[in-house]
Amino acid sequence: MVILFDLDGTLTDSGEGITKCAQLALEHFGIRVEDRNQLRIFVGPPLRESFPKFGVPEDQVEEAVRIFRSRYLTVGKFENRPYPGIRELLETLRNQGHRLFVATSKPETTAVEILEKFRLSDYFERICGASMDSGRDSKEAVIAYLLELAGNVEDAVMVGDTEFDVIGASAHGIPTIGVSWGYGDIEAMERAGAAAIAHDTEELLALLEKYRNNEL
């Protein structure tokens, strides 16, 4: 079975670094958000979609992305940690013979650095992410890129924490198992068509087994 994992909010809790960088970028435009919890929506979706929601003019979004990355690529990317049970989950899935990939809207080079830091990169056949320009930044585009590299993926399933994962995978006919421990909204994932929701890594492993046996 081919399993595509989202990164932020699924494999690692990257909220601290991302929200701090978003706060810095918004303050550059005079937009103050005192409660960083309001910036949780930056975790997962492409940055270019999130900044306008806080009042950044469309013609200044690229500047906001530049400021965000100036902190994120040096400090913010390591304000991050794997969720409990993730390493054991990946170890089990690899031992079962599954092909594991990462499909993230985060820049690919950054995703590789993070997973290497936490010694998780070796579990994955390929880590696929966004390009640094806007040419490949949606989940749908990243998955399209991954599918070109992966070959036969008729039995693929996506694992992610937001409706963007569900929608992006669905565009390629791939079902998604959502996880509740990330930064997305469970009801939004269900509305988007998630096949199931896992509330911990043990439940996720069981749901993946059901999917493999055509029971999901």
Indicate which residues carry an active-site annotation. 6
Structural contact between residues 118 and 12, judged by C-beta atoms closer than 8 angstroms: yes
Angstrom CA distances, 45 to 29, 78, 116, 152, 183, stand at: 21, 19, 22, 27, 10
Query: d(Cα 87, Cα 152) in Å, to the nearest integer?
Result: 26
Of 69, 166, 155, 74, nearest in space to 113 by CA = 74
The Cα-based distances of 19 to 37, 71, 92 in angstroms read: 8, 11, 32
Among 42, 46, 22, 45, smallest CA distance to 32 is for: 22
Cα-based angle 89, 93, 156 (whole degrees, multiple of 5): 115
- Determine the Cα angle at 109 with ends 103 and 111, to 5°: 45
Distance CA 153, CA 99 (A): 10
